[in-house]
């Protein structure tokens, strides 16, 4: 097999002339052995750079040569680390809050400016690396294949694979947001730690189970964070809230709507075509409905619940913040404006936390 096929085998529908379809047909894309096969042969679907060679120089050689199969296998081996980290995160919240209760707040404005700038740049680059690939997958192969095809085959290799892996492991680093809140003695409300905890656990499990729908959520999250952290970087530098904060909230609400829709559609596809982790490669992607869907049902259910709760919370915040209570007219809206002026580094997640008390009363 290895002797008869080029290292970078590109499977598409129809096949490239260089693809030995008969040889590929002898293999199964199976969880137990696909990592080694993928790492050796570099199998993946066509991407933008294959159709537009002029884009090749825009990615580094390391990005283009990246194969994420080893990282997926590694994550499965250390899966328990994610669960341990989630537990320690909850311990940090409890112990850290108690530790700072009788101590003065830290002044971290300069560090927060750098933090927001770093996350903004990271998210901008991540969006540039993943959004075009998602759009290409949808335009070239359609929603069903993009939502059901094995993730390592569709977006886990090359440039998109690099930024998928970075996205997943960056969720460890993003927990520093909570540490900043604790050290600055800012309100540590339910939605803040609920958001960080559930997103971390979901992403970790999705990466370990190679969820095909992950490319949707990664591209969306990179895009929203690119705008959000740019907003908070500028607000922190200028020491005042900016006039376009509503854009961030609208993007977040839209992300939740799409998240609910994609996960619901994913569950429907699994019910129609049945869950499987075995794919005869020669049938991909045109015949995938006849093979099955690789979306792990439990992870999809987790995602649906997670996105539905986020949607409810952010919709409530949007209505209360921008529709029910006019800004700057006194009352709660005016008070919130004054609080934001005092703390322009406040994140959108923190802002949404202000609605949780009212939500609990209605549930």
| 195 included as an active-site residue | yes
* Rounded distance between C-alpha atoms, residue 240 and residue 191, angstroms: 24
**DSSP assignment, residue 67?**
B
Q: Residue 45 half-sphere exposure, CB side, CA atoms within 13 Å? A: 29
Q: What is the pLDDT of residue 205?
A: 95
Q: Which of 133, 195, 196, 225 is catalytic?
A: 195
Distances (CA, A) of 346 to 77, 210, 229, 327, 336: 37, 34, 10, 17, 11
Question: H or E element: which one contains 350?
Answer: helix 348-353
Q: What is the pLDDT of residue 352?
A: 37
Are 75 and 160 a contacting pair, CB within 8 Å? Answer: no
pLDDT < 50 regions, the chain: 1-42, 282-283, 329-363
Q: What is the pLDDT of residue 156?
A: 87
Q: Whole-model pTM?
A: 0.79
67: β partners: 157
Summarised one tens digit per residue, pLDDT across range 287-323 is 555 567 888 999 999 999 999 999 998 888 788 878 8
Q: Which residues of 267-300 are buried (b: 16+ CB within 10 A; e: fewer)?
A: bebbeebebbbebbbbebbeebeebbbbbbeebb
Q: What is the pLDDT of residue 358?
A: 38
* Rounded distance between C-alpha atoms, residue 321 and residue 316, angstroms: 8
Q: What is the pLDDT of residue 151?
A: 87
Q: What are phi and psi of 280, to 5 degrees?
A: -65, 115
Q: What is the pLDDT of residue 171?
A: 96
Taking the domains of the chain in order of start, what are their residue ranges?
72-362
């Amino acid at each position: 097999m290895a002797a008869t096929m080029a290292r970078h085998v590109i499977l598409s529908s129809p096949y490239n002339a260089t693809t030995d379809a008969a040889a590929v047909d002898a293999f199964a894309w199976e969880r137990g052995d696909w990592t080694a096969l993928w790492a050796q042969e570099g199998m993946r679907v066509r991407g933008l750079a294959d159709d537009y060679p002029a884009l090749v120089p825009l990615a580094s050689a390391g990005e283009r040569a990246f194969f994420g199969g080893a990282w997926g296998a590694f994550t499965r081996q250390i899966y328990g680390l994610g669960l341990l980290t989630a537990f320690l995160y909850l311990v940090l919240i409890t112990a850290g809050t108690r530790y700072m209760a009788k101590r003065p707040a830290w002044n971290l404005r300069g560090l927060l400016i750098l933090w927001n700038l770093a996350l903004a740049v990271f998210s901008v680059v991540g969006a540039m690396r993943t959004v075009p690939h998602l759009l290409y997958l949808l335009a070239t192969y359609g929603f069903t294949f993009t939502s059901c095809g094995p993730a390592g085959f569709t977006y886990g290799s090359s440039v998109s694979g690099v930024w998928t892996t970075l996205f997943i492991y960056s969720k460890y680093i993003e927990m520093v947001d909570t540490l900043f809140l604790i050290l600055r003695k800012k309100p540590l409300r339910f939605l803040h730690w609920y958001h960080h905890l559930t997103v971390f656990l979901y992403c970790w499990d999705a990466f370990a189970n190679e969820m095909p729908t992950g490319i949707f959520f990664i591209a969306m999250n990179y895009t929203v964070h690119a705008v959000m952290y740019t907003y908070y970087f500028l607000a922190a530098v200028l020491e005042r809230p900016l006039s376009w904060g509503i854009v961030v909230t609208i993007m977040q609400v839209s992300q939740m709507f799409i998240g609910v829709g994609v996960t619901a559609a994913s569950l429907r596809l699994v019910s129609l075509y049945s869950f499987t982790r075995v794919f005869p490669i020669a049938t991909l992607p045109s015949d995938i409905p006849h093979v099955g869907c690789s979306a792990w049902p439990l992870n999809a259910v987790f995602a649906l619940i997670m996105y539905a709760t986020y949607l409810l919370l952010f919709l409530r915040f949007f209505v209360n913040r921008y529709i029910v209570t006019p800004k700057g007219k006194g009352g709660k809206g005016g008070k919130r404006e004054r609080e934001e002026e005092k703390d322009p580094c406040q994140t959108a997640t923190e802002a949404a936390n202000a609605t949780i008390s009212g939500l609990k009363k209605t549930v």
